[in-house]
Amino acid sequence: MHQNRTKYPQKKAQMYQQLQELPSKYKVIALVRMEKVRSSQLLPLRKKFKGEVEIVSIKDKVAQKSLSTLKIPGIEKLAANLVGQCVLMFTNMSPIKLNILLGKNKIMMAARGGDKASIDVVIKAGNTGITPGPILTDFKEAGVSTKIDQGTVWITKDSIAAKKGDTISGKLATLLSKLDVKAVEAGIVLNSALEDKVIYNQEELTVDVEQYRAAFAKAHQEALSLSIAIGYVTKENVNMILAKAAQQARSLAIEAGFLTDDTKDATIQRAHGQAKSLSGKLKGYSPQ
């Protein structure tokens, strides 16, 4: 079907060559499917991860061809996931960590028709610099009130053009792009990764960080609770244990009606409070 090319395009040849070398330089190869990624997302990531992650954007066929010549266990499984335009990331960090870091580096992007707004999309009041024309109708449809002043369209007050989660129409997307308002938060998610012969799928690469945060809090809290309960004193809990022991002594003194300097008043209040609580439950009797 394909015409045999007499000469491989130079760019493709370079990429082929790159893929021959990179896998031996790094422990991890991670794959991102470009169908959900725009090339404009890659630039900030390249900067951010410079020295840690090499990012290569490549067509599936070239990548498959190059990778298939390598003797890396498991690479064929990764190559099988290559579809269309792809991004390959080479790194020595754990692919799960890479995935978490990618999730932390989401960027705001211009919406395209059909995208869902990631935030409440606010159009700020002020001069748009746009000359009046049919666009005024677009503003009106988006619920944005405008006025014309000295030949340009002014927005009279901050307006929400779309709520978080709303689907953005093609028309609104065009309007937002003219105003340079970004409505979509875009993150890159790893599709699969190869590390030390093991291939990880998207699910295995996804870690619920909040769950870990909560687990740390809970684990520490359990340690604290246990140490206080058993009176095992450490620097972290010594104040709490002292407070608890003193508290127990106060509670005991009060419950026993044994007056101490620290608890006299509380004991009287307690006795009186009991009388009040009891009288409050009495029907047809009001103490004088």
Binding mask 82-121 toward other proteins (x if CB under 8 A, else -) reads ------------x-xx-xxx-xx-----------------
| Measured distance CA(169)–CA(188) in Å, rounded | 23
285 HSE (CA, 13 A, CB side): 9
Q: Is residue 276 near other proteins by the rule CB under 8 A?
A: yes
Q: Is residue 287 near other proteins by the rule CB under 8 A?
A: yes
| Residues of this chain, 57-86, that bind other proteins according to CB under 8 A | none
Nearer to other proteins, 130 or 266 (CB): 266
What would you report as the CA-atom Rg of the chain, rounded to the nearest whole angstrom? 33
| Measured distance CA(114)–CA(86) in Å, rounded | 23
Q: Is residue 185 near other proteins by the rule CB under 8 A?
A: no
Q: Is residue 243 near other proteins by the rule CB under 8 A?
A: yes
Q: Please, what is the minimum distance in Å from the beta carbon of residue 201 to other proteins? A: 12
Q: Is residue 203 near other proteins by the rule CB under 8 A?
A: no
Q: Is residue 233 near other proteins by the rule CB under 8 A?
A: yes
User: Residue 25 corresponds to which tokens in the numbers above?
Assistant: 């330089």
Nearer to other proteins, 158 or 265 (CB): 265
Extended strands (E) in the chain: 28-33, 53-59, 85-91, 107-109, 121-123, 126-127, 146-149, 152-155, 159-162, 184-186, 192-195, 198-201
Q: Is residue 249 near other proteins by the rule CB under 8 A?
A: yes
Q: Which of 24, 37, 32 is nearest to 92 (CA)?
A: 24
Binding mask 205-224 toward other proteins (x if CB under 8 A, else -) reads --x-xx-xxxxxxxxxxxxx
Nearer to other proteins, 171 or 220 (CB): 220
